[in-house]
Amino acid sequence: MSAAPSAHASSTLERWPIIARDFLTSGLPEPWRWLANSLLAIAAIIIVFASLFAVLTLLERKVLARVQNRPGPNRTGPFGLLQPLADGIKMLTKEDIVPRTADRLLHTLAPIALLAFSILTLAVIPFGRNLVPIELDAAVLYFFAAGAATELAVFMAGWASRNKYALLSGMRALAQLISYELPLLLSVVPVVMLAGTLSTVEIVEAQGGWAWGFVPQWHVLTPWGFAGFIIFFISALAESNRSPFDLPEAESELIAGHLTEYSGFKYAIFFMAEYFGMCALSGLGVTLFLGGWQAPLPFLEIIPSYVWFAVKLLTLLFGFMWIRATLPRLRIDQLTRLAWKFLVPLALVNLATAAFWSLTRDWSGALQLVRWALAIVLVITPFVLIGRTLTRGIAPRTYRYA
Amino acid sequence: MVCSFRGYASPENYPRAPEPTFVNVAFFIIALGTLATAAVAMSLRNLIHSALLLIGSWAGIGAFYLWAGAEFVAFGQVLVYVGAVSMVVLFAVLLTRHSRDDSGFEPDSIGRAVSALIVGGTVLGVLVGAVLSTPLKSATEVPAAVQVRSLGLQLMGPHAAALLVVGVVLTVALLGAVVIASPDRPADRKEEP
């Protein structure tokens, strides 16, 4: 259900990145031009997302602080705006300590590999109407392939430190990442099924157009899409080791988990990789469920597509921070139980709901209401049933005082 | 972010034939990388290092698929091998080792060594025979890129049985890793302090 190309698609605001790129590289002969274009894209991604990382560290501390009713960093520069700079200088000037018996090569390789694969995943996300670094036919598969290698780097960090806490925590982190890989992938399958393609560009275009002129056709605004988005969001939280799933790297758990023996710049690279992974997963969530760079209303298309993508991305990232500020941390057994006993069955049922939605595409008129009602029932009932079954005997808590 | 391949190398613009020398050089680099990492992996004493180098070898095979133009298979290779089989192997090695010292290098007995040589030699013979006896045409023109949709239809239709069999690969990897990693001589089992 793609919309006709809108009149704003060829406006200068939309096309200025392409115009700038062509201005810079049009003089080169063919293979070199492709290389120059690719290098420009890589440079642009790294510059934008590294700056976003710096801003996000400050934003996170401010948001957490405000939720906890305190001001947050406000000493370094006005409103603490130079705090990322101060943090960067601190990290760069710290001593790089590697334990004597640690596996030096792997110890150094782990954060680099983690960062490299996190950046690789950003290559297939359409940041704007003409702004996708690589247009692949199997883009979603590429994203998860590159993301799967990050789990390996986490294990390498835990094992190479030659520290029993780090190794134990590395294995726990690996277990968490593997467990949540499954609901993540299962929540994406309905999107692929209904868009009919694995290409992120085409998935975004399939969410174009407005029903009755003002309701966007994003996947999140359908019953299966809503449930899928929530499952995707929770799994993304776990995949990027964010609270409440930050058991592997929390200070009160096994010292600092697989990061115990890391200091200075390598520690900073780990956190950069975590934020990049967060941005990549949020970007994928925006692409698959929130309509990518599509504007919510037709008259808002004056605002360029990459601005809409940025707005949606920042909203999701703010949601990540909000959850971190609000929810307590889960234990490893609660984590894995949540993944395997709750999210995976729900994701499978969501797949069935999406299949029903896809098969009843031609229902019209009053049958549309039946379709919606049935889909909503199919989404809510397993959630309530499984939730009740799993918490029987545990919830609701009754407090007894002596 | 300023690079969009639309209009240059997007799927509808295939085929684009690169220079022959680039093709050969790339193939040799990928082949060398894959074989070298696999060879070094087999020769190292530290089992975890071996596993990690083997993962590099699998990634090299993924690179080979990309070089050959089979994108879907390449991403599938990385996702399954580097993403899942590697975890299985590492977990199996970690959970069955008693210490992180060197694993025993010598074969357990002459009989085992002989049977290993026979089995390995048989597999090698079958593979070499299959490769040499298949008429593999070298393409004169670069074929059109296969759409993922047609791949999916083929996998779900005529080749569904192959897909199910391939799903067993994780189990096989786990069993192989456990067999290789677990110490089976009583002398190897170190007493817990």
Pinpoint the alpha helices (H) of A295-365. Answer: 305-326, 332-337, 344-359
Decide which of A325 and B96 is more confident: A325
Structure tokens at A264: 């200075």
pLDDT reported for residue B155: 85
Q: How confident is the model at residue A3 (pLDDT cuts 50, 70, 90)?
A: very low
Choose among B11, B82, B145: nearest Cβ to A152.
B82
In a domain, residue B63? The reply is yes
CB atoms within 10 A of CB A376: 16
In a domain, residue B91? The reply is yes
Weakest mean pLDDT among A56-60, A228-232, A241-245: A241-245
Note the pTM of the prediction, 2 decimals: 0.86
pLDDT reported for residue B93: 78
Burial of A260 (0-12, 13-18, 19+ CB in 10 A): buried
Contacts of B179-184 with C-beta under 8 Å, sequence gap 24+, read B180/B47, B180/B93, B181/B47, B181/B92, B181/B93, B181/B96, B181/B97, B181/B103, B182/B96, B183/B96, B183/B97, B183/B98, B183/B103, B183/B104, B184/B108
pLDDT reported for residue A304: 87
Choose among A18, A127, A138: nearest Cβ to B148.
A138
Please give, rounded to a whole number of angstroms, the shortest distance from the CA of A176 to a CA of chain B.
12
In a domain, residue B119? The reply is no
Backbone angles phi, psi at A210, to 5 degrees: -130, 130
pLDDT reported for residue A5: 55
Weakest mean pLDDT among A175-184, B33-42, B162-171: B162-171
Structure tokens at B77: 């290779």
pLDDT reported for residue A140: 93
ipTM for the assembly: 0.80
Are the beta carbons of B72 and B151 closer than 8 angstroms?
Answer: yes
pLDDT reported for residue B146: 72
Domain count, chain B: 1
- CB-CB under 8 Å, B86 with A152: yes
In a domain, residue B77? The reply is yes
In a domain, residue B45? The reply is yes
Range B50-72 burial, b when 16+ CB lie within 10 A, else e: bbbbbbbbbbbbbbbbbeebbbb
Total residues belonging to chain B: 193
Cα nearest neighbour of A44 on chain B: B1
Backbone angles phi, psi at A197, to 5 degrees: -155, 155
Looking at residue B172, which CATH number applies to its domain? Answer: 1.20.120.1200
Structure tokens at A34: 């492709």
Every domain of chain A and the residues it spans: 94-390
- CB-CB under 8 Å, A144 with B79: yes
CB atoms within 10 A of CB A103: 21
Please give, rounded to a whole number of angstroms, the shortest distance from the CA of A183 to a CA of chain B.
15
In a domain, residue B14? The reply is no
Q: What is the domain extent for residue B34? A: 19-103+147-184
Reported as a single tens digit per residue, the pLDDT across A135-146 is: 888 899 999 998
Q: β-strands A210-211, A215-216: how paired? A: antiparallel
Angle formed at CA B95 by CA B93 and CA B98, multiple of 5 degrees? 90
Please give, rounded to a whole number of angstroms, the shortest distance from the CA of A117 to a CA of chain B.
12
In a domain, residue B97? The reply is yes
